[in-house]
Every structure is written in structure tokens, then in C-alpha cells.
Structure 1
Amino acid sequence: GMTIMLIIAVGMNFFSYWFSDSMVLRMYNAQEIDRSSAPELYGLVEKLAGNAGLPMPRVYIINEDAPNAFATGRNPSHAAVAVTTGLMRVLDYNEISGVLGHELAHVKHRDILISTIAATMATVISYAANIAQFAAIFGAGRSSDDDRGGIIGMIATAIIAPIAAALIQMAISRSREYSADEGGAEICGNPNYLAAALEKIEYYAVHGAPLPEATPETAHMCIINPFAGHDFSFKSLFSTHPATAERIARLREQAQRMHIR
């Protein structure tokens, strides 16, 4: 049973990795743009991709007021970046370049692959925990003290293991965000651009309506959690994103190291 579940978990996550770009872009009703339909945005992505040493990704616009952005695609040759119309409206040119730099850093670091591996590991651990739970429940007929202790241990493992797996997955996601912030600041040339952008996006995420198409499964892809201010307690533990204030502080420090005021 465990082998079959492992094969299913790997298969499902590999499928989502391979087709991540088309699935997510369809979910968000993203429209592809080109040099003629949105010359300024297309030209900016082209310039930043050149800075990053990346092939030109496909560029998409999502017709939504909530300012946000994400990158997707299985590798740098099959990448796409998407921004909302709200982001284009509330950020200036420099701030948009900071956001796009961050998204291109995700592409450069192959974060879609890393998050897929993390998701596969978490899925396998959860499946294994479910099997342990079944084994404990259906093996409960034998009632020696040793057996009872083993059953309690298995049930405890079944409850704790998926939580631990989720926490590890979230921690990996948060560390990738920090890396993309730092890499993105280098790509656009000024960490303060992204710091200013994060401040504005966070304000709208907390005070505005969340992205209607956003789901908990795709929230980790966005530059700021689209459910910020709309989510639940324990949020720092289970958040896919580090605290925005901490991200901004790190970017300001990076600017000082680069002697940028």
C-alpha cells in the first residue's frame, strides 16, 4: 500500500510541476501580452531577464484590482511571469521592476522545482501517517499493555507527522522568498525598489479584498500572501511567506551593503 501511495504522490506532484504554468495561468484568467499590446511592461521584463541571464519568459496580465504577481513554469526555458492590473496601477516603474526582479529570481533559482519536491515529501509523509493511523485502529483488537503503548505512539505519529511535514514545507517556502528578495534586488539593481513595492502590496492585501482566484494551494506563489489580513491564527508558523516587515528590513540592509541610499 505504501509503495502505491508513494507512486501516486510522486505522479501527482510531477504532473502539477510539469503543467504548473498552464494550470495556474488558466485559474487566474491571465492574458498573455507581447511587445505590441503592452510595450512598457514587456520591455521591462526583457531588460530584467537580460540582467538575470535568463531567456525571455512569457508575460501575462491578470485583470484584478488586488496588486500581486507570481512566476510559474517548470524551468527557465518554460517560465511565465504574471502581474495584476492592480499592481500596475498602484506601483511606479521602479517598484514594478523590483517585483519583476523578485519573480525572475524565483525562475533563476528553480523554486518551482524545489517547492514541488517539498510538496511531494509532505504528501508522502501524510500518506504514511494515514497508513500508521489505520494500522493502529485496526490492530487495536490485541490489548496487551505493550500493544496499547504502540497503538498510542502510532496514533500520535499519525497526527504529528502531517503537521511537521506542513511546517517544513512552509519553512522552505519562506526561505525561498528571502532568497528571491535578495536575488531580485540584484537583478533590478536597487533593493529599495522592492522594499517600497512590498510595503504598498502588503497594505492593499491587508486592507483590500483578496484576489478572488487565489487559493491556499497557490498562495505561496504570490509575492505577498493574497490572504494577508484574511487568514487564521498560528499564521506565522503556517505562513508560506515571511513577515513583510522582516523582508523590508533585510532589503534595506542589503541596500546599505550596496551603498545605495
Structure 2
Amino acid sequence: MNHLKTAVLLAGLTALFMAVGFLLGGRGGMMIAFVVASGINLFSYWNADKMVLRMYGAREVDETTAPDFVHMVRDLAARAGLPMPRVYIVDNPQPNAFATGRNPQNAAVAATTGLLQTLTADEVAGVMAHELAHIKHYDTLTMTLTASIAGAISMLANFGMLFGGGHRENGSPFGAIGTILMVILAPLAAMVVQMAISRAREYEADRGGAEILGRPMVLASALAKISGTAHHVPNYEAEANPATAHMFIINPLSGARMDNLFSTHPAVENRIAALRELATRTGSGTWPPSGPPAAGKWQDAGAASRGPWG
């Protein structure tokens, strides 16, 4: 079913890309946009994960540079029945995380330094279990592809504005109206992508992550902490690339831009309520006590101790 949703979503984004080309250059522009969109779809399938990681300046870590963090992800991946993903840390003060990759065999998980500095070790494990659930459900394929195509739509609209798109001599049947439409469509492109990603994916990843970890309220505690901090700490890379917002466990955008009129993420209160219900139904624990942040263990090489995941 996820493969079908991905195909439908990509077809819709390709159609939108072609519509932008038509407004900029008429039928000729539409055909060029179709060829370009086909190339982007193919390129993105193989490379979108690398592009997103590079966009956020993610640095890959291993057993030498972040032993406890990597060992924790390895343990969780084994519990989930997944291959070991590549592990990255993003130097960003906003507490957040995301997963990317076209399939479980070519996946990566990334956590920000803000996440490691804010959450306890168990809470970080809950967040990474959520991201591994996205990988297991093949959500990351949709996430990476839509982020790439949506970014291309906005770039095409900006290109048209800079180089005179919408003028009748360029083949556009709408002239100046086409240019105005591009101004409107460019910011709306990110919203369309965000709305196309079902909020149900986040609920499913929460449930899947809680099952991998075996402690739903640990993830609930992490969500409460992240949401209470994230929107007060700007993520400038995400603000510059709003089409990638749906990839994060919590919406990384500040809400100051119109990109946030439609959010891809369910309300945190509802997600916590769903996890609380799961914990009650399975008898798997209550709200965990507070603890020290995990950064001292996982953020840098030379950690003093392995901790429970080492």
C-alpha cells in the first residue's frame, strides 16, 4: 500500500511540476518540465537521501566517534528486524530527528545535537525507535522523494521570476498573470507536499517505535520535551527548505511563515494521548522519571561509559 501511495504522490507532484512549466512556457514549457520531472524522480530515488543529509550538514558517526549512540541504534535496529542504518548527527540546537533512505537496506537516521542535549538516554532511544519505524514502514522513500520534488517546484517558480517567466513572448498563454500565479504557487508547493504526507504515518511510527522500544511513555515523554522546546529554537536550514519539514519527528518550522498554515504533524497532545492509551492497553509502564541529558554519552567520541545501550 505504501508503494502505491508513493506512486500516486509522485504522479501528483509531477503533474504540478508540469503545470508550473506550462504557466512559464506554454506547451513547450510543459514538455520540458515533464522531461525534467522524470529525471528528478529517477535521480531523487537514488540520491534524495544524500541531498537531504547534505542540506542539513549531517556528519556520519560510527563506533569510534559516537560509540554509545551507534550501539544504541544497532540494538534498536536488531529489535525491529532491520539492517543497521547509517547514523548521523546534525549540529543544530533545535531538538529534532529524522530518517531518510529509499529502503531499509539504504537508510539513515539523524539526530540533532539539540536532541542529545535535551533528552535522557532512554528518551533518545524512543525517538530513534520512532525513526526506525518510519524506515520499517518505507515512509522514508516517500519523505525523501517528496522533499526533493517539492524543492524543485519552488526552484522552477523562482527561476521563472528571475528570468522573465510568464511573459507572452516566452510562450506562456497567461502573460503577467502566469508570473503572479508563480509567486503564489511557489510557497504553496511546500504546503501541498506537507498535506500529501498522511498524518497517520506519524501515529503509526509512534506506535511502531513504542513497540520496538517496549515503553510507549518514554517516547511520549520525549515528544513532550521536544515540542516544548523546538518551536522556540529556530532551525534555519528547515526554514530555508520547508518542503523537508515532514521528515522530522516534530515540525521544525517556527510557524512565522505561511508554510505552517497546514501542518504535516498531528498535535503532540494527540500523539501523547495515543501512546498513553497504548501503554495502558499493554501494561507497559507509566511516565518515566526525569534524567540527565544524553549528550554526555552519545554526542562526542571518548564517552566515559556505554550506558544501557552500549
Q: TM range, normalised to the smaller chain? A: 0.7 to 0.9
Name the aligned partner's letter for residue 92 of structure 2: E
Question: Which residue in the other structure is 2:20 paired with?
Answer: none
**Secondary structure in 2 aligned to 1:72?**
strand
Code of the residue aligned with 1:36 in structure 2: it is: T
Aligned-residue RMSD, C-alpha: 3.3
Structure 2 Cα separation of the partners of residues 77 and 102 of structure 1: 17
Is 1:57 matched up with 2:90? no
TM-score by length of 1: 0.77
Residue by residue over 1:61-91, the C-alpha shift from the partner in whole angstroms, topping out at 9 and shown as x without a partner, is 1122111111111111111111111111110
Counterpart CA distance in 2 for 1:163 and 1:206 is 21
Q: Which moved more, 1:191-200 or 1:111-120?
A: 111-120
Q: 1:240 aligns with which of 228, 251, 264?
A: 264
Does residue 227 of the first structure (1) align with residue 253 of the second (2)? yes
Number of residues paired by the alignment?
237
Paired position in structure 2 for 1:203: 228
| 3-state SS in 1 of match to 2:110 | strand
Match of 1:255 in 2: 279
Instruction: Provide the residue aligned with 1:92 in structure 2.
Output: 120
Correspondence for 1:148? none
Summarize the alignment of residues 172-191 of structure 1 with structure 2, pairs less than 5 Å apart.
172-191=197-216
Give the 5 Å matches for 1:138-177.
166-167=191-192, 170-177=195-202
1:144-195 per-position Cα deviation (integer Å, ceiling 9, x unaligned): xxxxxxxxxxxxxxx99x9799557515342211111111111111111111
TM-score by length of 2: 0.66
Q: Report how far residue 136 of structure 1 moved.
A: 7.3
- Relative distance call for 1:256 and 1:233 in structure 2 (3 A) is farther
Of all paired residues, the percent bearing the same amino acid is 56
2:70 corresponding residue in structure 1: 42
For the pair 1:218 / 2:275, whether they are aligned, the reply is no
Give how far 1:206 is off.
Answer: 2.2
Unpaired segments ≥5 residues, structure 2: 1-27, 157-170, 176-183, 287-310
Q: Hey, what does 2:47 align to over in structure 1?
A: 19
Separation in structure 2 between the aligned mates of residue 8 and residue 257 of structure 1, nearest angstrom:
50
Pick closer, same or farther for the CA change 1:18–1:259 going to 2, 3 Å.
Answer: same
Quote the offset at 1:13 in angstroms. Answer: 3.1
| 2:131 paired with 1:103 | yes
Deviation at 1:238, TM superposition (A): 1.6
Q: Distance in 2 between matches of 1:118 and 1:99?
A: 22
Q: Which amino acid aligns with 1:218?
A: T
For 1:146, the equivalent position in structure 2 comes to none
Unaligned runs of 5+ in 1: 128-133, 139-158
Give 1:28-39 correspondences, 5 Å limit: 28-39=56-67
Name the amino acid aligned to 2:224: E
Aligned amino acid, residue 48 of structure 1: L
Q: What displacement does 1:234 show?
A: 8.5
Look up the SS of the partner of 1:227 in the other structure: coil
C-alpha distance in structure 1 between counterparts of 2:104 and 2:121, whole Å: 24
